[in-house]
Amino acid sequence: MVDSLKKPQFEEMRPGIKVPSQETILTPRFYTTDFEEMAKMDLSANEDELRAILEEFRTDYNRHHFVRDEEFNQSWDCIDGETRKLFVEFLERSCTAEFSGFLLYKELGRRLKDKNPLLAEIFTLMSRDEARHAGFLNKAMSDFDLSLDLGFLTKSRKYTFFKPKFIFYATYLSEKIGYWRYITIYRHLEKHPEDRIYPIFRFFENWCQDENRHGDFFDAIMKAQPQFLNDWKARLWCRFFLLSVFATMYLNDTQRADFYASIGLDAREYDKYVIEKTNENAGRVFPVILDVNRPEFYNRLETCVSNNEKLREIDSSNAPQLIKGLRKLPYYVSNGWELLKLYLINPIRVDHLEGTAR
Ligand SMILES: [Fe+2]
Ligand SMILES: [Fe+2]
């Protein structure tokens, strides 16, 4: 009894291999795209910058970074109970997100090889980075006696199809938000080493530079395709992607506030900082950014947070499916309404700054 409290039980597919957590609207997504359209893209408008980025990727600054040192070689049973559960979930989510990047970039590298060698090489080198990140996280999971079967994940997950333009909006944001997430944790633990309860966080500084470079690549490629950025449709879609990325993170992290507390962070403060920084970054390429400083922005997100709490409560009750469905309905409607109102908040136009140092 005491033991099961200390070591939360996870469902296993085989001994030591964790059943991947259920796919929901808030879990990391796997993508596929129109490879033909991607191959035909004309890069000439920003080719010099893309070539410079390729050189950076070739240099491979983090070639020797992802090596586990002796600090990992100890028992991690001291991280127990709920913290251990949240820790494993954090590692799994991060690993799945990194691995999803790996799969997409790897496939792009393979499919564009003959038709667009410049893009193909960049994607292949980015997939190298993501493979390292995912592998390092999966190895960390094994410190908690679990790991993910990434081959199984590749075959079993659903893939969302996005046209290249949407792939760029989504991956740009996920790379930049990834950068801010990692660096913010790193900087916090630098100041508070007593909160660094596991060595992986020490690796985040160089690690996040990979994500930053990946984000810069997507910035450069969008600038090579100005038609993806300079019309009213682009403004509407950029708003949509900004909101969905920010809302997803906020809903996920507030639900796991105890994880952030275990490393001395306040989940809400952390998310607000990451959102502010990512939003600011996005203003260098997107035509609009969100007005996240309005109190309304977080008030509405908070309503969604409490709706989701209610939804989880209903889910875990013993009521019949139909009753559960009926009880959940008003909360879904409320979430839809809040997200719509969030989407309708006037964004901040930044496209007039084109050509100036944004
Ligand atoms: Fe990564
Ligand atoms: Fe990345």
199 and 122 both lie in a single domain: yes
- For residue 132, the ligand closest to its alpha carbon is 1
248 and 183 both lie in a single domain: no
Cα(211) to ligand 1 centroid in Å equals 6
- 289 domain residue, yes or no: yes
Query: Rounded CA gap, 297 and 101, in Å?
Result: 29
Decide if 206 contacts 65 (C-beta within 8 A).
yes
Q: What pLDDT is recorded for position 7?
A: 76
Q: What pLDDT is recorded for position 356?
A: 55
CA dihedral sign of residues 262, 266, 267, 271? negative
What is the band of 353 on the pLDDT scale with cuts at 50, 70, 90? low
The residues whose Cβ lies within 5 A of ligand 1, an ion, are 98, 130, 133
DSSP states along 22-71: PP-TTSPPEEEE-HHHHHT---GGGHHHHHHHHHHHHH-TTTTT----GG
- For residue 104, the ligand closest to its alpha carbon is 2
Closest CA to 353 of 209, 229, 200, 193: 229
Q: Which of 181-190, 252-261, 306-315, 346-355 has the lowest mean pLDDT?
A: 346-355
Taking residue 9's Cβ as centre, other Cβ atoms within 10 Å add up to 7
311 and 218 both lie in a single domain: no
Q: What pLDDT is recorded for position 1?
A: 45
Decide if 262 contacts 279 (C-beta within 8 A).
no
- 138 domain residue, yes or no: yes
260 and 212 both lie in a single domain: no
- For residue 126, the ligand closest to its alpha carbon is 2
Query: Rounded CA gap, 281 and 90, in Å?
Result: 25
277 and 344 both lie in a single domain: yes
Query: Rounded CA gap, 340 and 51, in Å?
Result: 40
Domain of residue 163: give its range: 25-228
* Non-local CB neighbours of 339 within 8 Å, separated by 6+ positions: 243, 247, 300, 304
Give me the chain's average pLDDT, please.
94
Cα(43) to ligand 1 centroid in Å equals 24
223 and 235 both lie in a single domain: no
271 and 323 both lie in a single domain: yes
133 and 251 both lie in a single domain: no
Query: Rounded CA gap, 227 and 234, in Å?
Result: 8
- Residue 167 gets the label, from left (phi > 0), alpha (psi -120 to 50) or beta, of alpha
- For residue 99, the ligand closest to its alpha carbon is 1
* Non-local CB neighbours of 320 within 8 Å, separated by 6+ positions: none
- Tens digit of each residue's pLDDT (9 = 90 or more) over 207-265: 999 999 999 999 999 999 999 999 999 999 999 999 999 999 999 999 999 999 999 99
Cα(88) to ligand 2 centroid in Å equals 21
- 13 domain residue, yes or no: no
208 and 250 both lie in a single domain: no
- 327 domain residue, yes or no: yes
181 and 116 both lie in a single domain: yes
276 and 209 both lie in a single domain: no
Domain boundary among 228, 255, 278: 228
- For residue 214, the ligand closest to its alpha carbon is 2
Domain boundary among 228, 247, 270: 228
- 4 domain residue, yes or no: no
- 48 domain residue, yes or no: yes
Cα distances (Å, whole numbers) of residue 235 to 55, 121, 126, 286, 316: 32, 30, 28, 8, 40
Cα(38) to ligand 2 centroid in Å equals 19
* Non-local CB neighbours of 110 within 8 Å, separated by 6+ positions: 120, 124
Rg (CA), the chain: 21
- 20 domain residue, yes or no: no
74 and 172 both lie in a single domain: yes
Query: Rounded CA gap, 55 and 28, in Å?
Result: 30
- 41 domain residue, yes or no: yes
Cα(331) to ligand 1 centroid in Å equals 34
pTM over 0.85, yes/no: yes
Q: How many domains does the chain have?
A: 2
What is the band of 21 on the pLDDT scale with cuts at 50, 70, 90? confident
- For residue 175, the ligand closest to its alpha carbon is 2
- Residue 145 gets the label, from left (phi > 0), alpha (psi -120 to 50) or beta, of left
**What mean pLDDT is predicted for residues 183-197?**
97
Cα(340) to ligand 1 centroid in Å equals 31
Counting every residue written for the chain, the total comes to: 358
Domain boundary among 177, 206, 228: 228
**What mean pLDDT is predicted for residues 299-326?**
96
